[in-house]
Amino acid sequence: MAVLLLQACSGGDNNSSIATPKQATQNDAPAAEATTATDSGFSSARVFIVSPADGETLTSPVTVVFGVENFRVAPAGTFEAGTGHHHLLIDTDLPPLNQPIPADANHLHFGKAQTEATIELAPGPHKLQLVLGDGYHVPHDPALISTPITITVTESAAAVE
């Protein structure tokens, strides 16, 4: 089971945004083994988007830089207290916070402990948000979620030519 989850979240290099479209299920994450931020003494931990800035207008591809404080980014399948890996939500609401985060075009997994990604986005407004997941891809308790940002992607000069 852990091998399948690692495979689903381990694609790509440090700048990869490729996510295998495997839907994680509630059975993949035994609640008894979930790491909690509160129980681990990490109540001051936070996750945030370093760049782009909220309200920024830019062209695609977009490089998103992830930030985390008072917590350690670790690969999927790591179950040490105070560790987790990033999930980038694109144009979607938060998933259920007591279940594994889906893996699809709107929920990108960074299971190799990546701290940034370059992603292709269509022209228009986009909402981006980070959720830190534990070794099973389940948000911590309490969940470590960034403030959502909105960016606008314009057509690049090359696309207009």
> Block means of pLDDT (10 residues each) for the chain, length 161 residues?
38 36 33 41 88 98 97 96 97 97 98 97 98 97 96 77 55
Write down the pLDDT at residue 159.
59
Domain ranges of the chain: 2-160
- Phi, then psi, of 26 in degrees rounded to 5: -60, -30
The tokens for 84 are 């987790």
Q: What is the CATH number of domain 2-160?
A: 2.60.40.10
Write down the pLDDT at residue 131.
98
DSSP string computed for 105-148: TTEEE-TT--SEEEE---SEEEEEEEEEE-TTSPEEEEEEEPPP
- Phi, then psi, of 56 in degrees rounded to 5: -70, 145
Write down the pLDDT at residue 43.
77
Question: Rounded to two decimals, what is the model's pTM?
Answer: 0.76
